[in-house]
Amino acid sequence: MSIFKGAGVAIVTPFHTDGSVNYDKLDELIEYHCAQETDSIVICGTTGEASTLTEEEHMDCVRFTAQRAKNRIPVIAGTGSNCTRTATAMSVEAAKAGADGLLVVTPYYNKATQDGLYCHFRTIAEAAKVPIILYSVKSRTGMNVDPTTAAALFNDVENIVGIKEASGDISQVAKVMNLTDGKIDLYSGNDDQIVPVLSLGGKGVISVLANIAPKQAHQICAKFFRGDVAGSCALQLKALPLIEQLFSEVNPIPVKKAMNLMGMEVGGLRMPLTELTEANTEKLAKAMTDFGITVSV
Asked if residue 59 lies in contact with residue 48, where contact means CB atoms within 8 angstroms, the answer is no
Question: Which sign does the torsion angle of CA 162, 230, 9, 242 carry?
Answer: positive
Asked if residue 31 lies in contact with residue 64, where contact means CB atoms within 8 angstroms, the answer is no
Residue among 25, 118, 135, 187 flagged as catalytic:
135
Q: 38 — alpha (psi -120 to 50), left (phi > 0) or beta? A: beta
Q: Which of 207, 295, 296 is nearest to 246 (CA)?
A: 207
Residue among 25, 164, 256, 257 flagged as catalytic:
164
CA dist., res. 8 & res. 38, Å (int): 6
CA dist., res. 228 & res. 236, Å (int): 12
70 catalytic? Reply is: no
Question: Which sign does the torsion angle of CA 173, 110, 252, 6 carry?
Answer: positive
135 catalytic? Reply is: yes
Residues with catalytic annotation?
Answer: 135, 164
